[in-house]
Structures are given as C-alpha cells and as structure tokens.
C-alpha cells in the first residue's frame, strides 16, 4: 500500500487538526472487507442520486476514494464515502480505492465523518442537526466547539439544532425536501404552536416560497401586520383616481413608502378606456 493522501482529504484532516499520525492508500481494498459506519451522520440516501452515481462509476470509475479505519486485519469501517461504497456494491465491484486512516475511537470517527459530510455539502439540514446533537450529547461538545471544528458560525449551529424541536412529520418533510430549511426556520417562529401543522400543510399545498411563508407567519403572529387599504389621507386620492378612471380604485400599502394601486374594470370597453387614459392615447 502506498502512503499517499488525496488533496481533498488531506485538507480535511489538516483542518480537522486531529491526532491522526499516518495514512495509507489502498487502490483495491476488497469490498467484502468493508463495513458501514454506525455513526454515519447521513441517514437518507436518495435513490435518484445513487443511481446517477452508479452510472457515473460505470462510465468513469470511482474518482474520489472512500476513507476507512482498520478494525482488524480483515475488517475496515467506513469513515466517509458510504454512498460510493453502496454504489460499488450494487454493481458488484470487487474492490474500491480507499484511504486507511489511523483512528482509534468512535468519537474521532463521528467527528471526522460529520465534518467530511458537511464540508462536501452532502447532508440535509436535519442530518446536520442530528449530527450536532450527537456531538453534544455523546461527546460533550459545546456549540462553540462544534462551530470551530466545522468552520460554521455558532448561530448556524444553534439554528440547525432548533430544527429538532419541530414535530416529526415536519422534520420528515425537510428530509424529503418537500420544504426547505428557510421554511422550517419560519415554522419555528410560530407563537401559537397548535397552528404549526396547519401552516406546514399550507406551505406544501400552495407551494409557498420561503418569503411568502415568512409573511404569512408574521401576519399570524401579529394580526395588525397586513397590507392595509389606504385610509384617511389617501382616501381623497382614491376618490380622485376613481373619478378619473370611472372605475373603483384602491391604494394598498406594503410598507410606509411602497404599495400598489388596483384599478377595477367591468368590461372590455371599460378596460380599453382605462388603458387609453394611462397611456394618454387618443385612439386604441
């Protein structure tokens, strides 16, 4: 076996700053000698993405080796690269290229596997949250320590861990990508928690954007927050426009200085007359 380390993994270990003393590279580690990592932070393996990876491996081979640790002379446990390992098994490859790292305990395994997955952006938000929780509960890591290890802000760690407070069905929607991380964060801000499942369903049924969801929840939390029809000083302007267009006109505010004007029409002729007045055309 050759003592060589891939550029990506080398950078990972350097950033990880662990006590790993040496690494080996085996270009043909037997698949039958490899077992999955029980601390793997990734819990969901998308079938479509896995099939795409299988086709890529069939065409180009495995470009990025997996990383493993040696359990004994015949058994190696995956640290990172389980998706590549699963794809290789499905197409009955006898061997797979692998970096063999000297890691002695499950704490380092969990930490390195989590960092590798996050740095490669392979985890969904719920898997990240569960990984952080495991580091906190099983290895007594503070949010600040997790933040330093994976080079993300402490607030980002805290926000991801808050997702674990969501009902299980909403967590599953996030895992299945029916909603986005931004939707989930907005749902956490609902003051009346009895409404959370109702709003969650509205997001899915109406295909609401994250921004639309935030506005909806802001209205629910503060009933006085809404797009109000202009009253008082703007009523005169509505009357002027209604007289000018010979149609009902409403002025609605979105904020102090922004809003929209709604002009109603009741026939094609009425619409043409409104357009002529707006464009200042004599004939349409």
* Residues forming the active site: 82
Q: What's the Cα-to-Cα distance from 60 to each of 51, 53, 57, 272, rounded to whole Å? A: 14, 10, 5, 62
Do the beta carbons of residue 80 and residue 113 sit within 8 Å? yes
3-state DSSP of 37-81: CCCCCCCCCCHHHHHHHHHHHHHHCCCCCEEEEECCCCCEEEEEC
Residue 31 is classified by DSSP as: G
Rounded CA separation 243/222 (Å): 35
Q: Which helix or strand (DSSP H or E) is residue 250 part of? A: strand 249-253
Yes or no: say if 185 and 149 are a contact pair by the CB < 8 Å rule.
no
Radius of gyration of the chain (CA): 29
CA–CA distance, 254 with 229 (Å, rounded to integer): 10
CB distance 68 to 78 below 8 Å: yes
CA angle, 163 then 129 then 205, to 5°: 40
């Amino acid at each position: 076996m050759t003592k060589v380390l891939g550029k990506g993994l080398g950078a990972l270990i350097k950033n990880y700053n662990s006590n790993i003393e040496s690494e080996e590279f085996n270009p043909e580690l037997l698949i039958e000698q490899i077992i999955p990592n029980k601390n793997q932070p990734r819990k969901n393996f998308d079938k479509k993405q896995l099939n795409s990876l299988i086709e890529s491996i069939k065409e180009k081979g495995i470009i990025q080796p997996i990383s493993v640790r040696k359990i004994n002379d015949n058994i190696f446990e995956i640290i990172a690269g389980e998706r590549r390992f699963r794809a290789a098994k499905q197409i009955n490859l006898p061997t797979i290229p692998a970096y063999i790292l000297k890691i002695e305990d499950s704490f380092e395994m969990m930490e390195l596997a989590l960092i590798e997955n996050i740095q490669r952006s392979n985890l969904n938000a719920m898997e990240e949250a569960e990984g952080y929780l495991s580091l906190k509960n099983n290895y007594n890591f503070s949010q600040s320590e997790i933040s330093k290890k994976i080079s993300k802000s402490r607030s980002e760690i805290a926000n991801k861990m808050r997702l674990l407070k969501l009902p299980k069905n909403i967590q599953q929607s996030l895992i299945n990508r029916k909603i986005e991380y931004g939707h989930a964060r907005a749902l956490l801000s609902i003051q009346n928690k009895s409404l959370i499942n109702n709003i969650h369903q509205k997001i899915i049924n109406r295909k609401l954007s994250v921004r639309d969801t935030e506005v909806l929840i802001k209205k629910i939390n503060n009933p006085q927050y809404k797009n109000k029809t202009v009253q008082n000083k703007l009523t005169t302007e509505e009357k002027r426009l209604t007289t000018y267009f010979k149609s009902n006109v409403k002025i609605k505010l979105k904020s102090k200085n922004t809003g929209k004007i709604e002009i109603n029409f009741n026939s094609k002729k009425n619409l043409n007359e409104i357009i002529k007045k707006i464009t200042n055309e004599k004939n349409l």
